[in-house]
């Protein structure tokens, strides 16, 4: 399956005093792309949460390869994989749109718990694999 991708641009206020995107902002970019990906797959994250199922990031691995600067246009890709019976991962990459230069490689492992706090793997997540 082709990875989902979303193009975005760096905003001035996301940069630190050195003129580069603050390291924490990359997690905002990847999370936004994951949520947009879920929408395209028919998964309503808010509706799932309203049913008492909470999907949470339990591990985040980010490899920073190059810094983004104000005005850079970049692409965030999203792919999913099953990690175990109760876990899945989102593998994500950020690259510059104009030349494909890699900026970030990331992997987020998620798990879900039901309204009683028990681990579960809802059908909505199965649809992503």
Is the Cβ–Cβ distance between 5 and 40 less than 8 Å? no
SS3 8: strand
Scan for tokens 């809802």, then name that residue.
Answer: 122
Let me know if 16 is a catalytic residue: yes
Evaluated on CA atoms 119, 123, 57, 92, the torsion sign reads positive
Instruction: Name the active-site residue from 7, 12, 16, 44.
Output: 16
Is the Cβ–Cβ distance between 94 and 64 less than 8 Å? no
d(CA 22, CA 39): 27
Active site residues: 16
């Amino acid at each position: 399956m082709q990875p989902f991708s979303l193009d975005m641009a760096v905003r001035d206020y996301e940069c630190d005093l050195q003129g580069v995107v603050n390291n924490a902002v990359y997690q905002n970019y990847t999370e936004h792309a994951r949520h947009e990906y879920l929408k395209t797959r028919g998964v309503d994250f808010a509706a799932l949460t309203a049913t008492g199922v909470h999907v949470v990031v339990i591990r985040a691995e980010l490899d920073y390869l190059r810094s983004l600067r104000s005005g850079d246009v970049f692409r965030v890709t999203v792919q999913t994989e099953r990690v175990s019976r109760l876990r899945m991962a989102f593998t994500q990459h950020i690259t510059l749109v104009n030349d494909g230069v890699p900026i970030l490689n990331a992997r987020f492992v998620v798990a879900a718990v039901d309204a009683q706090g028990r681990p579960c793997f809802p059908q909505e997540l199965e649809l992503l694999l």
